[in-house]
A and B are shown apart, each in its own frame.
Chain A
């Protein structure tokens, strides 16, 4: 899988927030085999030295994808992205501009504005968006080469809320890497996203706040893999009528 010309070894991206301890975080990453770690710049860097935590993140051996979590305006997001580029030494940025405090739904207008500005500054933008086709188009026009539509509101665990919309998005932008970002609760949600043909999934809460984050991370890793294999294997079409896998006609009938 390639994003902005860079090849990733697996299709799972994992967040680094909310784990019970750094040791659990580290073990969860190992179990998940995630190839990308998302990191938030904002809180951990407010005055003081978060070196111990950064050292741990760096030691995960994954590609870092800093985010602009917690930003509510385009300007704020652009500033945060620039700080992140300096701190993490990467021009990858997961662009999050929150428009609604309860659902954490993105403000798509500010998102497009920030994406255009950041692209012009040389950033490789991964925008957290909805399944809206027009927003997707405008983000691509703004310079994004990847889209990250939500499955459901961040942290909700609802899975893929609008399967039809997401399927439509997948068909409409067949050549564009699409990552389901946010809203996944259980591994079957991740498998479903992969079966629909999405290129990767990004999650955090479902693993970090599980009773056993390490076991759950392993389960998500396996589900992403299973889902992708299934997609490549061309699933059968769903049908309204049953068709027996063993034909009745000609079956040995011994009594």
Chain B
């Protein structure tokens, strides 16, 4: 029996991976089923390894490329419509920079944007299209994975191994973890029709918007070197909404359904990892790549737990 602490995206992916390989698993989380208490709840759910290459370390781009398949294989609905990256004509340089730093895109002009996302073509004459990328609805994905398990309270257990997937709460053991604050919004705006994640480049305020269906959009996300989980700041709200308005002025009429604030657990290189310290195994540091990298860490941890293999993202303390 393997006991997993934490029912966020890291713990649930590992539990699902282990069970699929025939292991007996239990999940413990004092907060119970996935919900607002965990930062997995507030994620964008983009499976966009190409785009992440703009700032993420190389292994995220390479290893994350298989994640969409993992999610689909575990019964989660994955939308494969790629990612569209745009910039206002004034920030055209940002597109050039992004193109240089990333792989897997084609340059698109007004005609192609007209086909991909007709509402954007008027304002954005140039962009980059990452055709092979995908996205999912994080809350639906968490619910799907969690549905196979009884999530119990932490306590003594006849476990042979324990894997700590507690995110930022594991700072008591993983002192190198830090929190990176993120703020996001959920808007309802039926007059806007976007069918794939759109990233708006800006020298200071980059933003992405992910369609959740039925006119609902998730807007994210700030990145602040701070682990405060308090209220959204006025500046962040202003920036997020201004960026949405730039993408489509129709967002001015949107209803603000949610304002989410949480802190992402990250290591100093922003690279997630499985840490092995004696008998104890930790899966952590998913930073802004939770849904992209949790399947990768789940495989890495399962390989170690079941066959002793030490994969690329495993570190021994």
Q: A and B, one complex?
A: yes
CB distance from A124 to the nearest CB of B (A): 26
> In this assembly, does A22 line the interface, its C-beta being within 8 Å of a C-beta of chain B?
yes
B contact residues around A155 at 8 Å (CB): 203-204
CA distance A155 to B97 in the complex (A): 13
Which of chain B's residues has its CB closest to A21's CB? Answer: B270
Cβ–Cβ contact A44 & B225, under 8 A: yes
Additional pairs, 4, CB under 8 Å, beyond known A22-B269, A49-B179? A46-B226, A52-B178, A53-B178, A209-B97
Q: Is the CB of A52 within 8 A of B179?
A: yes
Q: Which of B100, B227, B231 contacts A50 (CB 8 A)?
A: B227
Most buried by A among B177, B224, B271: B224
Partner of A23, one of B177, B225, B227, B270: B270
The answer to whether the Cβ of A5 comes within 8 Å of any Cβ in the partner chain is: no
Residue pair B226, A20 in contact (C-beta under 8 Å): no
A52 x B224 contact (CB < 8 A): no
* Chain B residues positioned under 8 Å from A44 (CB to CB): 224-226
Interchain CB contact under 8 A, B181 and A48:
yes
Cβ contacts under 8 Å, A22 to chain B: 178, 225, 268-270
A56 at the interface (CB under 8 A from B): yes
Q: A50 touching B226 by the CB < 8 A rule?
A: yes
Pick 8 A–B contacts, CB within 8 A, sort by A.
Answer: A22-B269, A24-B269, A43-B224, A48-B179, A48-B230, A49-B179, A49-B227, A50-B225
Q: Judge whether A167 is part of the interface by a CB distance below 8 angstroms.
A: no
Interface size on B, residues (CB 8 A): 28
Nearest CB of chain A from residue B221's CB, rounded to whole Å: 14
- Which label, helix, strand, loop or mixed, suits the secondary structure of the A interface? loop
A211 to B268, CA, bound (A): 18
Q: How far is the CA of A47 from the CA of B234 in the complex (A)?
A: 13
Contact indicator B268/A48 (Cβ below 8 Å): no
Instruction: Say if the beta carbon of A120 comes within 8 Å of chain B.
Output: no
Which residue of chain B is the closest to A19 with respect to CB atoms?
B55
In the complex, whether A45 has a CB less than 8 A from a CB of chain B is yes
Nearest B residue (CB) for A26: B268
Chain A residue numbers with a CB within 8 Å of B225 are: 22, 43-44, 50, 52-53
Encoded as 1 (CB less than 8 Å from any B CB) or 0, chain A from 44 to 68 comes to 1111111011001000000000000
- Contact between chains at A48 and B270 (CB < 8 Å): no
Closest chain A residue, CB of each to CB of B269: A23
Q: Which residues does chain A contribute within 8 Å of B235, judged by CB atoms?
A: 43
Inter-chain contacts of A205 with B (CB < 8 A): 203
Bound Cα distance A209, B271 (Å)? 18
Binary per-residue interface labels of chain A (208-219) against chain B in the complex, 1 for a CB within 8 Å, 0 otherwise: 010100000000
Q: Which residue from chain B places its CB closest to the CB of A40 in the assembled complex?
A: B225
Flag if B226 contacts A43 (CB, 8 Å). yes
CA–CA, A23 to B233, complex, Å? 27
Residues on the A chain within 8 Å of B233, using CB: 43, 46-47
Among residues of B, the one whose C-beta sits closest to the C-beta of A102 is B90
Are the CB atoms of A48 and B229 closer together than 8 Å? yes
Chain B residue numbers with a CB within 8 Å of A21 are 57, 266, 268-271
Give the one of B100, B177, B268, B270 with max A CB within 10 A.
B268
Closest to A55 in B: B178
Of all chain B residues, the one with the shortest Cβ separation from A25 is B268
Given A20-B56, A23-B270, verify A48-B100 contact (CB < 8 Å). no
